[in-house]
Amino acid sequence: MSGNHHGSSAISERVRHVEALLEARGLVDEGEVDRRIDEFLAGGSPANGARITARAWVDPDFRDRLLADANAAIREVGLSMAGGLQEQRLKVVANTEDEHNVVVCTLCSCYPIALLGPSPAWYKSEAYRSRVVRDPRGVLAEFGLELPTTTRISVWDASAESRYVVVPRRPEGTDGMSEEQLAGLVTRKGLIGTAAV
């Protein structure tokens, strides 16, 4: 990855070497890789996912559109999955009383950066990636999320081209809150599915 990528592992060494070769052979301009990564990350923040969630809570029609065609629906609120080399397909799944959703990328660390910003370290850890598909109820309990046994758990493995965002359930006692206030309740973990909200 980029020059400011932390760590000094063998992989980082290799990446720096490949970057240098690409520049030396004129395939990319000096600093272009860093600039492209900066562009990709620009504007990416969990606040975006929170805005979408709050809108879905207050507007059932928006929620329906979001679950049916998320790429089109998020454009309504000025967001897009087109920040990278190509527009990524977005799949939004909503938690209900009966079903709780949680997202993982078992093969690497695919993540909806445009809507959630850079992924947390635990999301990329081998422990999370290997265990959450096998024992999601146990892993969620370790995150402090104890689900009733009557709530089914659906794990979504971002193994190909789609990226996933979870719409948490709207907390009780929030009827009087504005959309902006509601957005303030939503956390990054809630949008991945490792927290209730």
Partner 1 sequence: MADRFAPGDTVRTSTTDPVWHTRLPRYARGAVGRVVEVAGHHPLADDRARGLPGTTRAVYHVRFAAADLFGDGDHAVTVELWEDYLEPADPSGGTP
Q: How far is CA 36 from CA 32, 51, 85, 111, in A?
A: 6, 25, 9, 17
**Stretch in the footprint of partner 1 (CB under 8 A) among 36-44, 50-58, 157-165, 177-185:** 157-165
Per CB under 8 A, 14 contacts partner 1: no
For residues 136-155, which are near partner 1 according to CB under 8 A?
136-137, 152-155
Residue 109 assigned ligand-binding role: yes
Distance CA 100, CA 160 (A): 22
Residue 135 lies near partner 1 (rule: CB under 8 A): yes
Q: Is 37 left (phi over 0), alpha (psi -120 to 50) or beta?
A: alpha
Which of residues 52 and 158 has its CB atom nearest to partner 1 in the complex? 158
Task: Check if the beta carbon of residue 120 is closer than 8 Å to that of residue 51.
Answer: no
3-state secondary structure of 101: strand
> What letter does residue 171 receive in the DSSP assignment?
P
Do residues 110 and 163 make contact, with C-beta atoms less than 8 angstroms apart? yes
Catalytic residue among 12, 45, 80, 109: 109
12 is known to lie in a ligand binding site: no
Residues 103-122, mask of contacts with partner 1 (x by CB under 8 A): ---xx---------------
User: Phi and psi (nearest 5°) for 117?
Assistant: 75, -170
How many residues in the shown chain lie near partner 1 by CB under 8 A?
20
| Residue numbers annotated as active site | 105, 108-110
Residues annotated within the binding site for Fe(3+) are: 105, 108-110
Interface residues toward partner 1, by CB under 8 A: 89, 91, 106-107, 133-137, 152-162
